[in-house]
Amino acid sequence: MQKRSYSGFQSSIENIIKSHPGLAHAKESKDLKYIFTNDDNMKYLGMDEESRIIGKDVFDLAKNMGKYWNDSNVKKMYDYDIQVIDSKKTLLIESSVFLDSHGLIVVHSTRKIPILYDNKVQLVLTLISDLTHRETPVTLKTLYDKLYDYREATTKFLQHFGFDIKIAQEITPRELDCMLTFVRRNNFKEIANDLNVTRRTVEEHLKHIKEKLSCHTTDNLMSILFEKFYNRRPAR
Taken in order of first residue, the domains within the chain and their CATH numbers are: 6-133 (3.30.450.20), 137-230 (1.10.10.10)
Range of lowest pLDDT (2-11, 123-132, 220-229): 2-11
Question: Over pLDDT 70: what percentage of the chain?
Answer: 97
- How far is the CA of 83 from the CAs of 76, 113, 121, in angstroms? 10, 11, 12
pLDDT at 232 (0 to 100): 54
pLDDT computed for residue 236 by the predictor = 38
Using a pLDDT cut of 90, give the percent of the chain over it: 83
List of E strands, 5-45: 24-28, 34-37
The answer to whether residues 218 and 206 touch, using CB atoms and an 8 Å cutoff, is yes
Q: How high is the pLDDT of residue 235?
A: 43
Top pLDDT among 68 and 129 is at: 129
Please check the confidence at residue 234 and state whether its pLDDT lies above 80: no
Do the Cβ atoms of 161 and 229 come closer than 8 Å? Answer: yes
Please, what is the Cα angle at 51 between 50 and 52, to 5 degrees? 90
Q: How confident is the model at residue 1 (pLDDT cuts 50, 70, 90)?
A: very low
- Look at residue 233 and tell me whether its pLDDT is greater than 60: no
Q: Do β-strands 24-28 and 34-37 pair in parallel, antiparallel, or remain unpaired?
A: antiparallel
Residue 133 gets which letter from DSSP?
Answer: G
Mind listing the pLDDT tens digit for each residue in 41-91?
999 999 999 999 999 999 999 988 887 888 888 999 999 999 999 999 999
Q: Which whole-number Å values give the CA distances from 163 to 9, 67, 158, 204, in the listed order?
A: 45, 23, 5, 21
